[in-house]
A and B are shown apart, each in its own frame.
Chain A
Amino acid sequence: MTILYLLIPVTILMGLTGLGAFFWTLKSHQYEDLAGDAERILHDDDTPMPPRKENVR
């Protein structure tokens, strides 16, 4: 079962990528206002907000 020497590291790497993403969400304050986050998708006027400055090209 030498294939496991490939599959297990690949799988662990994918898990670590997920873990990294999870830590990033914690660090970037993704979970501060869960009730508001769930609510806000219901209010949209179907046009995007004006782009932030750094995105204007």
Chain B
Amino acid sequence: MMERLTVAERQQAMLITAVLALAGLILAIAGRNDPMGVHGWMTLFFAGGLFFVVGNALYAAEPTEDRTTSYYDDPTKVGILLSLFWAVVAMGMGVWVAAQLAWPDLRFDAAWSSFGRIRPVHTSGVIFGFGGNALIATSYHVMQRTSRARLAGHVSPWFVLLGFNLFCIIAASGYLMGITQSKEYAEPEWYADIWLVIVWVSYFVLYMRTLARRNEPHIYVANWYYMAFILVVAMLHIVNNLAVPASFSAAKSYSAFSGVQDAMTQWWYGHNAVAFFLTSGFLGMLYYFLPKRAERPIYSYRLSILSFWGIVFFYIWAGSHHLHYTAVPQWVQTLGMTFSVMLLVPSWASAGNALMTLNGAWGKVRDDATLRFMMVAAVFYGLSTFEGSFMAVRAVNSLSHYTDWTVGHVHAGAMGWVALITFGSIYALVPILWRRESMYSWKLVEWHFWLALIGTVIYVFAMWNSGIIQGLMWRTYTESGTLAYSFTDSLVAMHPYYVARTIGGAFFLTGAIIGAFNVIMTIRRVRQDTHELDYPTKSEAGEPAVPVAE
């Protein structure tokens, strides 16, 4: 991989890793009496390792060919592999967390393995590790192809990808050590947050610079979805993580806001993280890989653009629906609820657009599990956005809030929509990226598809049942006006569903492991497809010059 970089670029990479290693050393010394010091050492080893990897090849041969005549796919390839690695780790954590709820003894009495510590490893691992890496990798691919231009720069794509993974490692290991600022999906502490801002701004600059060199005048709609994802996530991350460190020698910090103000900021962030991390970016994937795989243009391109601007203007106001019946003013709750219901329009426009694109190509959907991944993802996108709008209505929320229904809803979106569209895109992308004829085994893709679908359905149905039972038990009163069930009664009632959820998750995890295996075998075992005819040709149609029968 180093042979695609010039010596000047390698030196630049060494300089960056050296500065980062130094920052790690400072963090390690400053935080020597705190878990933060461990993160300093980890940063030092991470950056130091990269420093030597680059340094070892510093004076190796330089690229001789004209680099502008090909796309730069190395960071995309590494991103896809990292994404699959995080998928297996984080979904494995998810199954363990789910099993702990059914059988609490599975904690094995350690502090680091308690529910409160490994649950964020699961959530951050799947959202940022699996989803984030897949988004970065596919965005590199899509922006180059739709712009018909090579990535702007050779060091910055690596900086973004590897820098982001350093953030993920710091986040996950921090949770195990008990470092958290207790904000859902924004748990990492101040130094990790600052690092992510640097990485994320570089990502946005890279995206804009690549688009600026595009040879295609039109900016394809997928790029808009990716751009919104990058820009809005940056903004949300900065505002929600405004905090004052208790000291510069420890991880602990205090939020700049307090009480309900902090809750409002958190859910303004939290819901928009769902909107712009888990929706907008993955819609970018959908709008590129689904038409490509189906070999049909999107059903209504006009509608895809309309739904983009709809999502941009509506989503940002919906966050307060997470705070129904709290100290947040009624009108703020109503505002969030109204915009959540309005969101159904652009959401269903995208889901319907995807399905209508496949209308007339159902034969392909039947035969090709990769396309089926994308089709089912669009269906789950439609389902979970409907459910989301519905649950945001205050009256429905009074039943669903704080129950497993919410967990079921999130997983319908995360497993059914986000993960399935990602796996579909990965299966479409891997043979193209590594120039392989096809995936190693189409049967394993089928297996993955059905395991993922069965797992999702078991999981979601278990949580719907569990959530509604839980909600109803909590609001049942006796004739004398006291609560009919204790909290423990509701927990006992949940047990069978918690077992079912663990099983559903295990199905899904098995599928992901099969997927990772299939991708690795595709890279290692499948013959290179050079896109050339391997016999002499003369006519335009590519007919063999000598009849094959001779």
Chain A residues engaging chain B, CB cutoff 8 angstroms: 1-4, 6-7, 10-11, 14-15, 17-19, 22, 25, 29-31, 33-35, 37-42, 44, 46-52, 55
Choice from B150, B231, B292, B296 contacting A48 with Cβ under 8 Å: B150
Q: Which residues of B contact A11 (CB under 8 A)?
A: 268, 316-317
Instruction: Tell me if A22 and B309 are in contact (CB < 8 A).
Output: yes
| A31-B305, A39-B297, A41-B146 known; A51-B261 Cβ under 8 A | no
Q: Which of B65-73, B101-109, B191-199 contacts A (4 or more CB under 8 A)?
A: B65-73
Chain A residues contacting B257 (CB-CB under 8 Å) are 3
Interface centre among A15, A35, A51 (most CB of B within 10 A): A51
Task: Say if the beta carbon of B312 comes within 8 Å of chain A.
Answer: yes
Q: A residues within 8 A CB of B328?
A: 1
Task: Say whether chain B's binding surface is mostly helix, strand, loop, or mixed.
Answer: helix
Q: Which of A4, A7, A50 contacts B68 (CB 8 A)?
A: A50
Which chain B residue lies CB-closest to A37?
Answer: B218
* CB <8 Å contact, A3 and B301: no
Do residues B148 and A49 form an inter-chain contact, with CB atoms below 8 A? yes
Which residues of chain A are within 8 angstroms of B317 by Cβ–Cβ distance? 11
A2-B261, A48-B68, A52-B213 as given contacts; A37 in contact with B220, CB under 8 Å = yes
Kindly list chain B residues whose C-beta atoms are within 8 Å of the C-beta of A15. Answer: 312-313, 316
CA distance A29 to B218 in the complex (A): 8
B235 touches A14 (CB 8 A): yes
Report B-chain residues with C-beta under 8 Å of the C-beta of A1. 260-261, 264, 328-329, 332
In B327-370, the 8 Å CB interface with A consists of: 328-329, 332
Q: Given the complex, which residues of A lie within 8 Å of B313, measured CB to CB?
A: 15, 18-19
Give complex CA distance A50, B213 in Å: 11
> Chain A residues with Cβ under 8 A from B309's Cβ?
18, 22
Whether the Cβ atoms of A48 and B144 lie closer than 8 Å is yes
Given known A-B contacts A3-B257, A3-B265, A35 and B297 have beta carbons under 8 A apart: yes
A7 / chain B contacts, CB cutoff of 8 Å:
239, 264-265, 268
A22 to chain B, nearest CB (A): 6
Asked if A44 contacts B70 (CB within 8 A), the reply is no
- Interface mask (B251-277 → A, CB under 8 Å = 1, otherwise 0): 000000100111011001000000000
Instruction: Across the interface, name the chain A residue whose C-beta is closest to B295.
Output: A42
Q: Which residue of B has the minimal Cβ distance to A17?
A: B231
Chain A residues near B268 (CB-CB < 8 A): 7, 11
Contact A3 B261 (CB under 8 A): yes
A3 to B267, CA, bound (A): 12
A38 to B305 Cα, complex, angstroms: 11
How distant is the Cα of A31 from the Cα of B261 in the complex, in angstroms? 42
Counting CB contacts under 8 A, is B219 at the interface? yes
- Is B291 an interface residue, CB under 8 A from the partner? yes
Residue of B nearest to A34 (CB): B301
Q: List 28 A-B contacts (CB under 8 A).
A: A1-B261, A1-B328, A2-B261, A3-B265, A7-B239, A7-B265, A10-B239, A18-B313, A29-B217, A35-B297, A38-B291, A38-B301, A40-B216, A41-B220, A41-B292, A42-B291, A42-B292, A44-B145, A44-B148, A47-B69, A47-B70, A48-B68, A48-B70, A48-B144, A49-B215, A51-B68, A55-B149, A55-B213
Other than the given A44-B145, A48-B69, A48-B148, 8 more pairs (CB < 8 A) read: A15-B313, A17-B231, A18-B313, A38-B298, A41-B146, A42-B295, A46-B531, A47-B69
Chain B nearest CB from A27 CB (Å) reads: 13
Given contacts A4-B332, A41-B291, A42-B295, contact A49 B265 (CB under 8 A): no
Q: How far is the CA of A1 from the CA of B333 in the complex (A)?
A: 13
Q: How far is the CA of A18 from the CA of B328 in the complex (A)?
A: 27
B191-246, CB < 8 A from A: 213, 215-220, 228, 231-232, 235, 239
Q: Which residue of A lies closest to B299 (CB)?
A: A38
Q: Does B288 touch A at the CB level, under 8 Å?
A: yes
Tell me which residues across on chain B come within 8 A of A38, comparing CB atoms.
291, 297-298, 301
| Chain A residues, Cβ within 8 Å of B264 | 1, 3-4, 7
Please name all residues of chain A whose beta carbon is closer than 8 Å to the beta carbon of B239 when the two chains form the complex: 6-7, 10
* B53 interface hit (Cβ, 8 Å): no
Contact status of A41 and B145, CB under 8 A, knowing A14-B235, A18-B309:
yes
CA distance A48 to B297 in the complex (A): 21
Of the candidates B144, B232, B295, B531, the one whose C-beta lies within 8 Å of that of A14 is B232
Is B538's CB within 8 Å of the partner chain A?
no
